[in-house]
A and B are shown apart, each in its own frame.
Chain A
């Protein structure tokens, strides 16, 4: 996609400054929302605290609707994004690994950085073991390569598969997200709150 940086409007020397600035804003917002606490994040899976789910889905629909509006105003071209190829089998396998890893540790790479930043040793341990995991994958890559490249369906988008326009898709997703927010409120009311 064309952007300020790729068009040269912002010179490449400045791109790292913008990267630090955007990262800083993300880190501040996520820490202030409670993502530095693995117990708070894990709460979404046990019904005692749905903060992480709410922040996450709210950010998702805000950026989706926002991008469609930015395209409508002509600021960006929504349809020129590079769509990554969908490798169905490794995606499912890897995501199952991540789902188990998420609950076992209470972290994803992003939240472990927030935890580590405010001095939590559990965050640092997670970062270390994730790096070891990536290293193991990289070293075993010759063995894993056939699986890694299995089931390439090409550059598909979800709205193509469903046969609807991105606008209809965004509308459906927004309705689902609102339903999930409401469902979270119902479940939360039935569980006793956990002090942490």
Chain B
């Protein structure tokens, strides 16, 4: 039994199969809710809900927050937050079935945990700020580019990937 699980641990689905299924799920999401996907939006909603709770006066006076609040009556009730909770549960289930659930820090073996954590924090901060400027994280802007063919979505998608390929050269010690 154990051997069987060990073997499955590093075996993933055929990428074209996974991609096709994901496409079908996105189609049903659009059909049912009229919305696309994007985890960054859920993180933004939780930040706004947090500020609202700690300093309600601040949210009333901030253009950025009041615009966001207008779009969603209550940030934590929004569709995307529930969707992300679902993503968490679905990934956990897949992890359990494939024996991949384990508390650990994943990194390239030749770098220290400290280096890895430092760059994750820098990367996360850049993502947090960048996704607000670009009005969506990679997944949401890509799908707004693919699904509704928005120019901004396409520009964002292409810029992220070109930048990442250039940046890959400078960060190569972290990965290979």
Contacts and interface: CB of A to CB of B under 8 A. Distances in A.
B38 to A, nearest CB: 8
A121 B104 contact: yes
Interface in B1-19: 12-13, 15-16, 18-19
B163 A96 contact: yes
Contacts of B121: 125, 129
Interface string B82-104: 11111111111111001011111
Nearest to B156: A95
A46 B164 CA distance: 10
Contacts of A113: 39, 84, 87-88, 91
A66 B116 CA distance: 40
A94 B134 contact: yes
Interface string B125-167: 1111111111101110111111111111111110111111111
Interface residues of B, number: 119
A156 B160 contact: no
Contacts of B86: 19-27
A99 B161 contact: yes
Contact of A91 (B80, B148, B159, B172): B159
A182 to B, nearest CB: 13
A30 B91 contact: yes
Contacts of A51: 12, 15
Contacts of A158: 145, 149-151, 154
A87 B155 CA distance: 10
Contacts of A31: 90-91, 94-95, 98, 100
Contact of B127 (A38, A45, A105): A105
Contacts of B165: 45
Interface in A109-130: 109-110, 112-122, 125-130
Interface string A25-41: 11111111110111110
Interface in B50-90: 50-51, 62-65, 77, 79-90
Q: Is the interface of B mostly helix, strand, loop or mixed?
A: helix
A93 to B, nearest CB: 5
A33 B84 contact: no
B25 A98 contact: no
Contacts of B104: 119-121
Interface in A47-97: 48, 50-51, 54-64, 66-67, 70, 75-76, 81-88, 90-97
Interface of B: 12-13, 15-16, 18-34, 37-40, 42-44, 46-48, 50-51, 62-65, 77, 79-95, 98, 100-108, 116-117, 119-135, 137-139, 141-157, 159-168, 171-172, 174-176
List the 6 closest pairs (A to B, CB-CB), nearest first.
A133-B128, A23-B86, A62-B23, A58-B19, A99-B163, A27-B90
23 contacts: A23-B84, A24-B87, A26-B22, A27-B89, A27-B90, A29-B22, A32-B98, A39-B175, A45-B165, A57-B19, A84-B148, A95-B155, A96-B163, A97-B126, A99-B164, A102-B127, A116-B88, A118-B101, A126-B123, A130-B43, A156-B150, A166-B149, A169-B149
Given A48-B176, A137-B133, 5 more contacts: A61-B23, A62-B24, A105-B123, A112-B39, A196-B108
